[in-house]
Structure 1
Amino acid sequence: MSAQPLAVSDARQTATAAFGALGFRAAAVTVMPVPMGSVPPPPPYRAQQISARYDRPFGFLAVHRASGLVLVAGWVTEP
């Protein structure tokens, strides 16, 4: 990620995931102190809508498409 070594002195994170009539929603917030101007603008993205039926146990992943990084993972035993 960087030519120079990186270090994180302090960070906090909160995450949530929910399944409902409107589908799957997940969010995570990570807070770290960073110098001003160190975050590049986000790349453009395209949202899609899909439909699925969950009537048995299943696992799920929410993946950042550009990097392949898994953002949220979980297992539902009782849909």
Structure 2
Amino acid sequence: MIIEAQCDSLLLVAANYSKSIITLKRQLNEANRANSELKETAKEREAPGLKITFIAFIVGVAAGIVLTNLIRKIWQKVF
């Protein structure tokens, strides 16, 4: 940024604006960095996919079959 001024007060205003621009750019970079980190952690915490849901369903069905067979065998011994 190049500023030419003849008045001292105008130079001070321009210097203040220059400092403000530098500060705002730094804050914007930090915010962008934090936003990208949040996106990365959000991707890591995504809900389980269809594959995991299918596996859980199959395990549940298998557990139900095993328990049903065990209960039948136990009741056959009782009666």
TM bucket (normalised to shorter chain) is under 0.3
Structure with the largest fraction of strand: 1
TM-score by length of 2: 0.16
Structure with the largest fraction of helix: 2
